[in-house]
Structure 1
Amino acid sequence: MEVDKKQKMSVPGFADIEDEENQNLPKPNKSSKKSGGFQSFGLTHNVLKGVLKRGYKVPTPIQRKTIPLVLEGRDVVAMARTGSGKTACFLIPMLEKLKQRIAKTGARALILTPTRELALQTLKFIKDLGKFMDLQAAVILGGDSMDEQFAAIHGNPDIIVATPGRFLHVCIEMDLKLTSISYVVFDEADRLFEMGLEEQLSEIASKLPDSRQTVLFSATLPKVLVEFAKAGLSDPVLIRLDVETKIPKELELFYINVRHEERLASLLVLLKSLIDLEQQTIIFAATKHHVEYIHMVLEKVGIPNSYIYSNLDPSARKIHTAKFAAGKVKVLVVTDVAARGIDIPMLDNVINYNFPMKPKLFVHRVGRCARAGRSGKAYSLVGPDEYAHLLDLHLFLGTTVSLCTLQNKEGNLGIIPQHLLEDQQSYLINLHETYSDLVNSRKVSENGYQQYLRTRPVASTESNKKVKYIPFRSCTIHPLFRSSGESIEEERQEIIDKMKHYRPHGTIFEIVGKTKSEEYKTMKTKRALHKDKIVEHHVKKEEKLSELKISGQKHTNTLADSSQNDIDEAFHDVVLPKKRKIEDLYKKNVKKPKRDENYIPYSSSDKHTEDGLAVNKFQNEAMDAQLDIVGDSSEMMRMSKQMKKWDRKKKRMVGVESKTAGKIRTESGAWIPKTYKSDRYSQWKEKTKADENNDYEDEEDGNQSFNKGPSAGLRTHWARHNEKVKQKQRKSELKTTDEILKARKIAAKNKRNNMRRGKKGKRKSRK
């Protein structure tokens, strides 16, 4: 009854973290080992030993709230920012529930992740936390050998870590029933839906038993995910912690205004002037061509680095990630394939070489550092074509743009001193003149960037309107590059900025022309005629700038109530953090008129948050949808004819069904039918004799006997002897290199003997 009361008190909200920690402090009568940490969860000895061995001492807020509910058997949807320890939230209860290995029943836990890197990382966590437990885990990833995955599943592992595409493919090939699975985890669930894996997830969920326990973890909570939780989870508990702080407080954000042709030079200035090369740094680029180009340039400059992108070979990706994680190289150049789920504990810096296209992508990029209470820095290079996306980010975070100007020198968006850029730019020109491969790689990256711009989502209409009123060209030197030793350079830059931003009050006719000339009189008359409009324009411009102006504060985030009706319908129990008073950053000097209670605004208060969290937008899908009755080109008319065929029974043209109807897209991008089964699995069973060896089990160690040999399950001596004789008589389909060489030697020897016999026979016939 006491546990239920505590749970009911924690459903609407929970007290301050300090109060909770004070409750967990050791009492005088008890030892200090059983207070405040993971000992209070009542874990078994082996699980607790593995947790402490891993280095966990005090649970994070999300772990405090999630682990007890999962141990009770409740379905949980947990939402917290990146780096808050979500992985341990589902692994520790999973190990506590499985306890020990049971080889006969098959897999009992399933963990689905969006990327192979995150799956391998989760497998490593399982091995570390379950170090003192007799549990077996298998990983099912796209790009690996399916034969090895068939063998791994035949070994009846307790835990399966998989990506949805390949796991569904293996399930269809092997006709797996998945009836033994009692614990399912959807890790980074919002990313799974963003990757277009909704069909695969629904198909896998339909194969799972209804009595399963489902745990869903995500950094954000889009509406698609709420609908999935309503359909696939039974009475789930929603836990929303730290959602108002989309970015950790320990993370410092810096924005640098650059021109497109000076972007690479700006990156070298950051790596050489600001960032300590002994610290670990991740550089995010737009395309794989940019990754290869940056990698080649950094190698020529003398900065050791590794790189990752989607089309890279899986083994190479694993090697490059391991080199960076082990500290052999300090710089890692990646695309957005590594923006989610990769946990590098000692990461210090993140550089956005190309500004991300979506605010949520920015959050997960910079979320790779400043994890678990550590500090970190994020540098973003922003070009003229990315200003609107920068405003989208600030609308999503609830902040405003802060420019470094002559009046406000403490902003967070500034430029790099010109002399630093010129030094690196001249160095890059010499490099490209020396190495021709750099020139070719630069051309490929520029072509790739043009294609990237065509597919990049357009920023919001509101941001595109505001960009026109923000004086990005008035940016001065960023505070990062100001120092006492460069006062002369700062004064020089200020003079250049004043010259650059100087605008004369009169036109060339008024300044150069004589006062009695006709041109001078005409311009004066025209100026007097439009004087009111000119003043109105300047006042309007000042008002727009005052709305966007900021006083140099650190980013203070706001959280609006997002889709509350949907959440109330899906979740009866919601665990929320303590409510905090957040200042309104968009408060205008002019008092807003009070609205009537029946007033309906044009846009909802959570518009920007929902746009940032959205997976599929109706507006974008509706724009792509069209109905062509008659093609407007010869190609379209030909395509419309090809989409129909003559039906002999109906005596008319009928439409051809879509090629993707009744099919599921695998992780490799191929479309396979839901009932598709090739001969691949049957060939593997025939080759390994898995059916014969899978019927019996060795009683000594509990492992299946197909790993012990063909005669392991036969009871009598003569039965085993006869089976061995039969196996010797069978010709093996696979031969080793020694057997092949031996067979060739015997064949060559027989051929020589036959030739000798033939020659002797001819000689005898002549005689």
Structure 2
Amino acid sequence: MPEIPGFADFNATVEINDDSGKIKKKGGKKSGGFQSMNLNYNVLKGILKRGYKQPTPIQRKAIPFLLENRDVVAMARTGSGKTAAFLIPMFEKLKARSAKAGARALILSPTRELALQTLKFIKELGRFMGLKAAVILGGDSMDDQFSAIHGNPDIIVATPGRFLHVCIEMELKLNGIEYVVFDEADRLFEMGLGEQLTDVVGRLPDTRQTVLFSATLPKVLVEFAKAGLSDPVLLRLDVESKLPSELQCWYFIVRPEEKLAALLVLLKSHINSDQQTVVFAATKHHVEYLHMVLDHMGISNTYIYSNLDPTARKINAAKFSTGKVKVLVVTDVAARGIDIPQLDNVINYNFPAKAKLFVHRVGRCARAGRSGIAYSLVSPDEHAYLLDLHLFLGQSLSIATPVNKDGSVGRFPQALLEEQHSSMITLHENHLDIVSVREVAEKGYMKYIKSRPPASADSNRRVKELPLLTCSIHPIFRELYAETEDERETLLDKMKNYRPHGTIFEICGKNKSQEYLTMKEKRAFHKEKINAHHQLVKQKQAQIDLASNASTFESVSLQSSNTEDINDAFKTVVLPKKRKIDDLYKKNKKRKLKDEHYIPYTPTDKHTEEGLAVNNFQKEASSAQLDLLGDSGETQKMNKMSKMWDRKKKKMVAVPDARIGKIKTESGVWIPATYKSNRYNEWKEKTKATQSNEDDDDEEEISTQKGNPRSKPNTHWARHNEKVKLKQRKSELKSTDQIVKARIIAERKKQRQKKGKNKGKSKKSRK
């Protein structure tokens, strides 16, 4: 078995000297990396037991800064070991279990799968630390989360929406937090969780250490770092390559009606059945449709999407991670942060509209030194996004043609497509449930296209000049189907390029007819324009052949984005040592402009900036408008509906925004920022639990109750109702005085009942 970079051999025996903390191998070789970081003995032992041998570049750069209690913003591509990079310093900072102090570390993740994965890493790396960790996720029972927090965990791993809800419900104090991590920080802002993050940060102490780990650096993240971090250090290890070198990317040009057949060709004819594969689809309806089709075709698979029940998501993810099924169909909910160690292939059934999303999708494989392949099915409406991706990556787009047979963009053999397509037709004819699900998926795709951001105008213009629709067979299928496909291509090219010398009037008409004479005069009049057009067509074809022989695009080295903003926010910027940042852009410096005072229309980092952007300024500016007076009946009606009658002012006033003072939860519901139900108090009464910090922080609680008007009832009826509720409450455990008192009351009742019976008997005897 070949050695994986960054991981140790599990069969090798390791000896640890308890006195010095040094590690000795029986072979006499020195182990390097983590031993030189002056880590705690238990932390180092957990690292070695996990199988880590040498730190990755992001771990080697980030851990020393984090051990110095510096705020860090770290950027690295997916699969580079970012999780261990912030967990190892956290263990070193917390050191041992502290039951009285409460939570001392907080990790916020965008999705529940990433949070559960982080919890798994904490248990594996920190197995010898004795630290207690709790997970707070949306969709789980809040009663269990209340009890978990009452257990005073050292580490809390949470998603922002549910964690903020629990903080408000319990009036949770976060004064003991020393270490805060925002994992996949750019994704947190993309999901619209900025308000929750701001509220959570406001509850944290100022003396905390903050860490932001992200794969990209949008402007929103830079502004957040300037406001919430103190003298942060920026670690940029993504400037040289956005994709790992071990990853191979293949692109296939297919028609929309043949996409499903192309997917089956890959899964049944090309990819080994023992390899694990993740298929990314556009919507949850596509996921359900593909899951049903693959089940009927005998391919074991499972699926995950955001609206799926949390328990089902856990079960399906466990099936795939343990290897019970080899194919996982997902939406973009699994495109970020999920670590599947043995993943071999990624298939983009629907090509992503954002280049950054493509990087995160294919980043699920080729992690930690392993190799992987990413297959992408590209339909005609997605060609422009393929160009946007290569402009973002700064790579050449190589199309497979009869001249250039080694391109990365090609098509499937028609014989394989027709075979699978015919089987799909018979499958849909025999199963009406699949047809109904397909119709729902098609309607969902129409909605998806409306919400999909458009490709750049430059890519839409240049894609028309590329021979994507006439590309030849892909190199991975060329060995088996080269002869038959070449004959078919030549025949189709002859049919497409055939042009008759005359029009239908000249061929079918007689030589002396009026139609024939009119077309002959017209052809003679436009003879020069016709010849010029034919020459232009020949020149374009020659340019296409020349470009496909070498490469379709020249490699463009793109500069890093937001240089001025980054310099304002970060005083310390750490870059790779092998190549300086200036050496990456020497090609740009050598280019000579016609005029040294020439200012281009677009910046050199335009495509990278668009790929990393969270908010598109052009899109927001086009939707912004100022209507002084409606110029139609509909706009006037909308203006009236957006106003309400104020009785005091005796005029129409604007309706206040319903979202003011509210927070968006993970389920998309807007709740008040001061939202608090009686759920936590009911749980306390049911479980007879008390907060651990009630006895320690009595003075703080009194001050908070004075400052909070809702902590005590202010009105007479509210106080009366509180007293009635207290009287109605019955405690299960009673003191000795209460028991004696209850017995005395019971004896008095018995005596009264006896007296009443005796009086009744005496009255009857008198009668």
Q: Which TM-score bucket, shorter chain as reference? A: 0.7 to 0.9
Q: Give the Å deviation of 1:71.
A: 0.7
TM-score if structure 2 supplies the norm length?
0.83
Q: Give the Å deviation of 1:399.
A: 2.1
Q: Give the Å deviation of 1:633.
A: 6.0
Alpha carbons of structure 1 residues 555 and 594: separation in structure 2 relative to 1, 3 Å? closer
Please say if residues 180 and 209 of structure 2, whose CA atoms lie closer than 8 Å, have aligned partners that are also in contact. Answer: yes
Q: What is the identity, as a one-letter code, of the residue corresponding to 1:155?
A: G
State the partner residue of 1:120: 116
Unaligned runs of 5+ in 2: 7-21, 697-731, 743-767
Please say if residues 360 and 612 of structure 1, whose CA atoms lie closer than 8 Å, have aligned partners that are also in contact. Answer: yes
State the partner residue of 2:491: 496
SS in 1 for 2:497: coil
State the partner residue of 1:620: 619
Shifted more, 261-270 versus 396-405: the winner is 396-405
TM-score if structure 1 supplies the norm length?
0.83
State the partner residue of 1:433: 429
| Deviations 1:232-255 (CA, angstroms, capped at 9, x unpaired) | 111111111133211111111111
Report the Cα distance in structure 1 between the residues aligned to 2:610 and 2:628, rounded to whole angstroms: 33
Q: What is the correspondence of 1:723-762 to structure 2 with a 5 Å cutoff? A: 723=735
State the partner residue of 1:669: 668
Q: What is the correspondence of 1:86-101 to structure 2 with a 5 Å cutoff? A: 86-101=82-97
Please say if residues 355 and 380 of structure 1, whose CA atoms lie closer than 8 Å, have aligned partners that are also in contact. Answer: yes
Do residues 155 (structure 1) and 151 (structure 2) align? yes
State the partner residue of 1:706: none
Please say if residues 644 and 653 of structure 2, whose CA atoms lie closer than 8 Å, have aligned partners that are also in contact. Answer: yes
SS in 2 for 1:138: strand
Please say if residues 400 and 548 of structure 1, whose CA atoms lie closer than 8 Å, have aligned partners that are also in contact. Answer: no
Q: Give the Å deviation of 1:646.
A: 2.4
SS in 2 for 1:468: helix
Percent of residue pairs bearing the same amino acid type:
62
Please say if residues 402 and 550 of structure 1, whose CA atoms lie closer than 8 Å, have aligned partners that are also in contact. Answer: no
Please say if residues 50 and 128 of structure 1, whose CA atoms lie closer than 8 Å, have aligned partners that are also in contact. Answer: yes
Do residues 251 (structure 1) and 247 (structure 2) align? yes
Report the Cα distance in structure 2 between the residues aligned to 1:663 and 1:721, rounded to whole angstroms: 41
Do residues 652 (structure 1) and 647 (structure 2) align? no
State the partner residue of 2:579: 579
Alpha carbons of structure 1 residues 597 and 563: separation in structure 2 relative to 1, 3 Å? farther
State the partner residue of 1:715: none
Shifted more, 155-164 versus 525-534: the winner is 525-534
Please say if residues 100 and 692 of structure 2, whose CA atoms lie closer than 8 Å, have aligned partners that are also in contact. Answer: no
Please say if residues 385 and 459 of structure 2, whose CA atoms lie closer than 8 Å, have aligned partners that are also in contact. Answer: yes
Q: What is the correspondence of 1:431-470 to structure 2 with a 5 Å cutoff? A: 431-470=427-466
Match of 1:184 among 180, 198, 206: 180
State the partner residue of 2:238: 242
Q: What is the correspondence of 1:325-404 to structure 2 with a 5 Å cutoff? A: 325-404=321-400
SS in 2 for 1:374: coil
Report the Cα distance in structure 2 between the residues aligned to 1:543 and 1:565, rounded to whole angstroms: 44
Q: What is the identity, as a one-letter code, of the residue corresponding to 2:674?
A: T
Q: Give the Å deviation of 1:625.
A: 1.7
Report the Cα distance in structure 1 between the residues aligned to 2:549 and 2:360, rounded to whole angstroms: 25
Q: Give the Å deviation of 1:279.
A: 0.1
State the partner residue of 2:410: 414
Alpha carbons of structure 1 residues 564 and 178: separation in structure 2 relative to 1, 3 Å? same
Alpha carbons of structure 1 residues 97 and 406: separation in structure 2 relative to 1, 3 Å? same
Match of 2:216 among 204, 220, 225: 220
Alpha carbons of structure 1 residues 106 and 183: separation in structure 2 relative to 1, 3 Å? same
Report the Cα distance in structure 2 between the residues aligned to 1:648 and 1:254, rounded to whole angstroms: 67
Please say if residues 34 and 40 of structure 1, whose CA atoms lie closer than 8 Å, have aligned partners that are also in contact. Answer: no
State the partner residue of 1:130: 126
Cα RMSD, aligned residues only: 3.0
Alpha carbons of structure 1 residues 556 and 320: separation in structure 2 relative to 1, 3 Å? farther
State the partner residue of 2:524: 525
SS in 2 for 1:256: strand
Report the Cα distance in structure 2 between the residues aligned to 1:547 and 1:725, rounded to whole angstroms: 101
SS in 2 for 1:472: coil
State the partner residue of 2:762: none
Report the Cα distance in structure 1 between the residues aligned to 2:547 and 2:616, rounded to whole angstroms: 27
Report the Cα distance in structure 1 between the residues aligned to 2:572 and 2:207, rounded to whole angstroms: 20
State the partner residue of 1:744: none
Q: Give the Å deviation of 1:426.
A: 0.9
SS in 2 for 1:672: strand
Alpha carbons of structure 1 residues 555 and 99: separation in structure 2 relative to 1, 3 Å? farther
Please say if residues 388 and 463 of structure 1, whose CA atoms lie closer than 8 Å, have aligned partners that are also in contact. Answer: yes
Q: Give the Å deviation of 1:635.
A: 5.5
Q: Give the Å deviation of 1:729.
A: 12
Q: Give the Å deviation of 1:549.
A: 4.6
State the partner residue of 2:564: 565
Please say if residues 34 and 54 of structure 2, whose CA atoms lie closer than 8 Å, have aligned partners that are also in contact. Answer: yes
Q: Give the Å deviation of 1:532.
A: 6.9
State the partner residue of 1:195: 191
Report the Cα distance in structure 2 between the residues aligned to 1:524 and 1:385, rounded to whole angstroms: 37
Report the Cα distance in structure 1 between the residues aligned to 2:65 and 2:506, rounded to whole angstroms: 77
Do residues 45 (structure 1) and 30 (structure 2) align? no
Report the Cα distance in structure 2 between the residues aligned to 1:30 and 1:390, rounded to whole angstroms: 50
Report the Cα distance in structure 2 between the residues aligned to 1:546 and 1:724, rounded to whole angstroms: 99
Report the Cα distance in structure 2 between the residues aligned to 1:454 and 1:391, rounded to whole angstroms: 20
SS in 2 for 1:307: strand
Report the Cα distance in structure 1 between the residues aligned to 2:437 and 2:306, rounded to whole angstroms: 18
Report the Cα distance in structure 2 between the residues aligned to 1:292 and 1:546, rounded to whole angstroms: 42
Unaligned runs of 5+ in 1: 1-16, 19-28, 698-719, 731-767
Please say if residues 396 and 555 of structure 2, whose CA atoms lie closer than 8 Å, have aligned partners that are also in contact. Answer: no
Report the Cα distance in structure 1 between the residues aligned to 2:30 and 2:574, rounded to whole angstroms: 25
State the partner residue of 2:598: 599
Alpha carbons of structure 1 residues 442 and 154: separation in structure 2 relative to 1, 3 Å? same
Report the Cα distance in structure 2 between the residues aligned to 1:507 and 1:473, rounded to whole angstroms: 28
State the partner residue of 1:747: none
Alpha carbons of structure 1 residues 659 and 624: separation in structure 2 relative to 1, 3 Å? same
Q: Give the Å deviation of 1:510.
A: 9.6
Do residues 270 (structure 1) and 248 (structure 2) align? no
Please say if residues 226 and 567 of structure 1, whose CA atoms lie closer than 8 Å, have aligned partners that are also in contact. Answer: yes
Matched length: 678
Do residues 165 (structure 1) and 143 (structure 2) align? no
Report the Cα distance in structure 2 between the residues aligned to 1:205 and 1:47, rounded to whole angstroms: 28
Q: What is the identity, as a one-letter code, of the residue corresponding to 2:173?
A: K
Q: Give the Å deviation of 1:146.
A: 1.3
Report the Cα distance in structure 2 between the residues aligned to 1:323 and 1:728, rounded to whole angstroms: 60
State the partner residue of 1:311: 307
| Deviations 1:371-413 (CA, angstroms, capped at 9, x unpaired) | 1111000000000111111111111111232221122211111
State the partner residue of 1:680: 679
